[in-house]
Amino acid sequence: MGEKTNLSVCKTDYVPESIPAECYCNRELSWLSFNERVLEEAGNPSVPIAERLTFISIFQSNLDEFFMVRVGSLRTQQENGFDDCENKTKMTVSQQISAILSRVKELELKKTKIYEQLMGELEVYGIRIINFNRLSNEERKILEQYFDSNIAPFLSPMIIGKQQPFPFLTNKELNAVVLLSNKNGKNKMGIVPCTNTIFKRLIEIPSRPGTFMLCEELILHFVTKLFSHYTVHEKSVIRITRNADIDEHDAIDEDLDYRNFMEGLIKMRKRMSPVRLELSRKIELNAKKELASFVKISEDAVIDCATPLDMKFVFKLREYLHGKKHLFYKRRLPRPSHNIDMRRRVIPQIEKKDLLLFYPFESMKPFLTLLHEAASDESVVSIKITLYRLADKSKIVDALIEAAENGKEVVVLVELRARFDEANNIEISRILEDSGCRVIYGLGEYKVHSKLCLITRNTGRGLSYITQIGTGNYNEKTAELYTDFSLMTANQDIGCDSATVFQNFLLGEVVDYVPFLLVAPNCFQSKIIEYIEAEKEKKLAGNEAYIGIKINSLTDKTIIDALIQASRAGVKIDMCVRGICCLVPGIPGWTENIRVVSIVGRFLEHSRIYMFGKGTEEKIFIGSADFMTRNMVRRVEVGVPVLDKDLKSRIKKIFDSEMNDTEKGRILKSDGSYERRKEKIAFDDSVPSESERKHKEKENPAKFLNSQEYFFELAYKRAPLKKKLLKNAF
């Protein structure tokens, strides 16, 4: 068990002085900059080509969700007559939308260049995506026969008119649009849905294995056959993105069945208004205006794309590359923690010393074992846990069911408002209820995002707690893809605070104050501000001061302003912020003592670390919250102090490695751009090859650090693979 320390702080009022606008970056534009860093990994020649395909698909899916949620929210405000300024850069809603659309169009040009480069490189390995211009006459005839027999019978073309109004276009599905005229010279518009479960998206050319045409391109080429009585003037594949920003707070009504209400909201999302219309080919201006009118979207939200509108087909291409191991990342398996002996029971080990798991480098198995031990341990009275996003066929759910069937009290708070996971969470909540677990559905107006598990025991020494607090979801799948921490402790002060949190959950309330944990919405932001203020006061008094922060996003103005004031006082501040960062470092006189690094790599950086001070006064926390206003005031988040000296030392070393990552770390500059530490990646032949990069690394390894690879190498050294697994691991 870690040392017992009271970390309570006194509440103070914080009133920042006026800070110049240049110290801030707009949230939405900062997010687009993050997604650009994802896109750049698709064009990074040091990344294996099969993995670069994944990055370009992630870029697109990220952008889809951004439009569905963030742009959707802005459009809703605009439609409701609100054009207020946001509180940092003072941009109005209209200005933000305009800036977003302009930036997205720039990124589309960059995506096109990277996509074309990727497709060109794939040809070396026998894979091609082609169009009709690259087919022989014989191949064209074969594809025409294929279209007539296997595709055309399943299509439902229609012409827009009085009898056939413009159809509802499903979110993110592909449709062909054609501009037609009949013998009388009347102009018409035709629509052909291209998304179908019957035919394949990738159609292989029989005479050329590994050469494919996209199904929608085949439909578009032969679309004249579907409208044989008309002349086709222009054609394009189109794709609608719809607003998905549903206000689930409308469900806060004691007379409503919350689970049924959420099911209704999921159905509603499918039919919400469009926020983006993508075209695979440019069409003439009047036709574009008419199409925008039919779709009921503003013309500025119509975006021309020179790449396929749906990138999910790249995962099929990855399958064709299977067997060429050098085109993929080296296979990595989470290793057993070297601090935990899995031949012995886990609970006694936690009672002896706090344990920390670091995903995906270490396995989640010790936590799963802890749950199963608790399910069968006669001394265990109850297990209480918060669930946000779960894996399919969740082993965690299995352990909770086992505990309930063994007569333990199992209390599960299932947050139904985990965006795009609502349906899965609804189904899981039913399974848990049917198994005898007590299920709570969220917490009124506050979304429960905390990662908290409390095991209560009645031992010979009386009541005792085992507490697990993490930075990531209870999800076995993401534990192999995201970097996260999981702390398991028998510290009774932390256990008592956790028990208070759960007691409030059962009463439908939030915690006002607990002495050890950071708990939003009432005592997380205020404590963070006070720790920042304490470091500022140390520096002003001539003492050493330091702040280190590792989060996914930084948007909360109250915390940003406190960090800026600490920087002005001379406090050195290091921040590793993967995504949105609304604070601009390096502004003379204001943020010159702040350094910001972003890591975009093989694994999604997801862990959160909050460090204050040096030496004996040093405080280190991990938790579920980013420094975003929504996390601070509209969610229940939990942060926990790391009290064990060895674990504090380990977390500091991890943080230092991330801040000094030369391979995947980019430095945020004072002009808002991100700069690579090493070679500037360009998308041409002048970029160093992978072999050249490795040669340079071998010559001077001290200058090359990929923190994620380093953490895996360390995990493998501490827990080598058994010979049976070694053959399949690389």
| d(C-alpha 238, C-alpha 172), whole Å | 9
β 211-214/202-204 pair status: antiparallel
Whole-angstrom CA distances from 448 to 81, 385, 422, 714 are 31, 11, 13, 34
Catalytic positions: 449
| d(C-alpha 46, C-alpha 43), whole Å | 9
CA 598-360-386 angle, to 5 degrees, is 95
| d(C-alpha 350, C-alpha 724), whole Å | 30
| d(C-alpha 430, C-alpha 424), whole Å | 10
**Residue 123 is which amino acid?**
E
β 128-129/211-214 pair status: parallel
Residue 17, burial from CB neighbour count under 10 angstroms (0-12, 13-18, 19+): exposed
Q: How far apart are the first and last CA of the chain?
A: 38
Q: Phi and psi for 726 in degrees, rounded to 5?
A: -60, -40
How is 630-643 classified by DSSP, letter by letter? HHHHSEE-EEEE--
Q: Which residue has the tokens 């005592």?
A: 523
> Cis peptide leading into 336, omega within 30 of 0?
no
| d(C-alpha 493, C-alpha 488), whole Å | 13
| d(C-alpha 50, C-alpha 60), whole Å | 16
Three-state SS string over 186-206 comes to: CEEEEEEECCCCCCCCEEECC
Contact assessment for residue 706 and residue 661, using Cβ atoms and an 8 Å cutoff = yes
| d(C-alpha 239, C-alpha 194), whole Å | 10
* 431-460 b/e (C-beta count within 10 Å ≥ 16 → b): ebeebbbebbbbbeebbbbbbbbbbbbeee
Other beta carbons within 10 Å of 171: 17
